[in-house]
């Protein structure tokens, strides 16, 4: 109250500044959408065209005919979806073990897992490629998915959320005869929904936008993901920016929808992460 009496206009000014910053942040996306609706003549006009005179919604239909975007979209959905589900299954399990179980060398194993975060992907890239080639998994979903089924970051995040949960709940469930997996499914998982939403969103966005690994492990058109498919499309239609913008918008839409569906849990998870 004291601060509000000193600065009675502080709150509206804060909202105004935040609104301006938010508008600046989304301007590139807005321009990308507007560009995707322009004609070819407007994209090559001397002066930038902000609002199309005749919006070309057909550009979004044209890209599906000019390139196998349906296949690219399906590949990305399968790869990012399976990896996300794998993280949501395995990472909380490992985090639960490290948070609530006592076993020999537990801290050593946990530090070794965290140590993998310090290894750049460029260092692991060649060994991983050699492994996938040895397994015969190049140009396959296995090759795209297997190296990313778990993550050290996910295990660490789950452990940090599970560790503060009281042991009394777990002990009471054991006394009632519940199995360890039953305790995990009925007691632990419902308590960490915000963390699961945060992990799921981060994982899906990361692997939906992944470019380098699909570029390396895939060399056939039918197995390309959206990111590498857009690159191939750009090589063929490099001067038709309206189509590139339409493809980029399609690439962004699933991420936007996922964030809108998980926004409440995601914001709560970020807030709780800051408190911890």
What are the extents of the domains in the chain?
A: 58-275
Token digits for 213? 């690994």
CATH number of this structure's domain 58-275, picked from the four choices 3.90.105.10, 1.10.3720.10, 2.40.37.10, 1.10.10.10: 1.10.3720.10
Q: What is the pLDDT along the chain (276 residues), one digit of tens a residue?
A: 444 445 555 678 888 888 899 889 888 888 888 888 888 888 777 677 778 888 888 888 888 888 888 899 999 999 999 999 999 999 999 999 999 888 899 999 999 999 998 888 888 999 999 999 999 999 999 999 999 999 999 999 999 889 888 888 888 888 888 888 888 888 888 888 888 988 999 999 999 999 999 999 998 889 999 999 888 887 776 667 888 888 889 888 888 888 888 777 766 655 555 444
Q: What angle do CA 192, 195, 197 make, to 5 degrees?
A: 110
pLDDT at 1: 43
**Spatial distance between the Cα atoms of 193 and 131, rounded to a whole number of angstroms:** 35
User: Are residues 233 and 244 in contact, defined by beta-carbon separation less than 8 angstroms?
Assistant: yes
* CA 230 from centroid of its chain's CA atoms: 18
Inter-CA distances, 132 with 59, 63, 144, 218, 273, Å: 38, 32, 9, 11, 35
pLDDT for 10-65, tens place per residue?
678 888 888 899 889 888 888 888 888 888 888 777 677 778 888 888 888 888 88
HEC profile for 110-152?
HHHHHHHHHCCHHHHHHHHHHHHHHHCCCCCHHHHHHHHCCCH
């Amino acid at each position: 109250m004291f601060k509000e009496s000193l600065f009675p206009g502080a709150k509206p000014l804060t909202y105004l500044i935040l609104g301006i910053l938010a508008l600046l942040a989304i301007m590139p996306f807005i321009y990308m959408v507007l560009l995707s609706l322009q004609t070819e003549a407007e994209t090559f006009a001397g002066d930038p065209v902000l609002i199309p005179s005749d919006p070309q919604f057909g550009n979004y239909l044209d890209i599906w005919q000019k390139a196998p975007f349906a296949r690219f979209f399906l590949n990305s959905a399968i790869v990012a979806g399976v990896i996300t589900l794998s993280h949501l299954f395995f990472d909380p399990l490992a985090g639960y073990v490290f948070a609530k179980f006592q076993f020999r060398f537990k801290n050593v194993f946990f530090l070794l897992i965290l140590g993998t975060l310090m290894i750049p992907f460029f260092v692991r890239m060649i060994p991983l490629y050699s492994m996938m080639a040895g397994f015969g998994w190049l140009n396959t979903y296995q090759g795209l998915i297997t190296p990313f089924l778990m993550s050290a970051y996910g295990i660490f995040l789950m452990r940090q959320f599970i560790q503060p949960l009281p042991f009394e709940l777990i002990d009471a469930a054991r006394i009632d005869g519940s199995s360890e997996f039953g305790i995990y499914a009925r007691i632990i998982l419902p308590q960490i929904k915000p963390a699961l939403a945060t992990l799921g969103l981060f994982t899906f966005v990361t692997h939906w936008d992944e470019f380098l690994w699909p570029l390396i492990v895939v060399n056939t058109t039918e197995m390309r993901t959206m990111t590498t498919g857009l690159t191939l499309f750009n090589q063929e239609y490099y001067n038709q920016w309206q189509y590139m913008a339409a493809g980029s918008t399609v690439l962004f839409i699933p991420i936007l929808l996922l964030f809108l569906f998980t926004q409440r849990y995601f914001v709560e998870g970020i807030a709780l992460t800051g408190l911890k």
